[in-house]
Structure formats: C-alpha cells, structure tokens
Structure 1
C-alpha cells in the first residue's frame, strides 16, 4: 500500500487508538488500514479506513466499560 497522505493519516489514527486502548488495558487483535479502490490505478485513493477487526466478547465488554467511564465525566 502506497504511503499517501490519506494512508498516513489512517496509520497515525490507528496507532493513536491502539496506544490509547493499550493504556486502558485493551488490545484489539487485528487493527489494520484499508483503502478504497481508485477508479484508475494512477489515481490516489480518496480515503483510507482504520479497520478495527473482531474481538472477543470480554474485550468488547471491557471496551464498552472504558467508553462509558470516559463519557460519564
């Protein structure tokens, strides 16, 4: 995957989210970056997405708890 500005932005967002989750004791097992197909191979992808992947039920419950506590204040 080419390191376009959109991909670099998504990588930074993924890394920032992973660090914040790690501080909360949470690790998502499969975070990666996905790009939309460009209409023309010479065209830069219009956006990149942070794919959070899947996680176990206990990890999802822990994540929900951290979000609830963070929005309660």
Structure 2
C-alpha cells in the first residue's frame, strides 16, 4: 500500500491523541486518518516526506472550551 508507514504513523498518533483526550474527559465526535495523496501505486518524488493527516472533525463549543482549558493547563506546568 502506498504510504503505509505514514498511514500507520498517523493511526498511532490519532490513537495516542484520542487516549489523552479521553483521559482529560474530552471526546471529539470524529477522528480519522486521511491521506493527502491519491491512493495509487504510482511513486513520485517527495511522497516519502508526506504525512497522513489526522482529521479531528468538528466539535461543539463546550468541547472546544474543554479542549482549550486542558491545553492551557498543560502549558502552565
């Protein structure tokens, strides 16, 4: 599969982020992995440096505020 290592890296990062958010009492409604390149077998220059993207979806204002609070708390340590 084209980009498989980058996709696996993104899946692991998504899972780590989801675990950290869950531990902080925050759940985003959608977190999935997307690739910024076509799913083909064609190799092109620079593909090795591309990263799969973690889509965080949309969230309500209360979830956004909770996420912001956790981030601020983490930066004051």
Structure 1: 5+ residue runs without aligned partners? none
**TM-score for both structures, normalised by structure 2:** 0.82
SS at match of 1:61: helix
The count of aligned residue pairs is 72
Instruction: Give RMSD over aligned pairs.
Output: 2.1
Q: Distance in 1 between matches of 2:66 and 2:60?
A: 10
Misfit runs of 4+, over 6 Å: none
Q: Distance in 2 between matches of 1:10 and 1:71?
A: 24
The structure with higher relative contact order (CA 8 Å, sep 6+) is 2
Structure 2: 5+ residue runs without aligned partners? none
**TM-score for both structures, normalised by structure 1:** 0.87
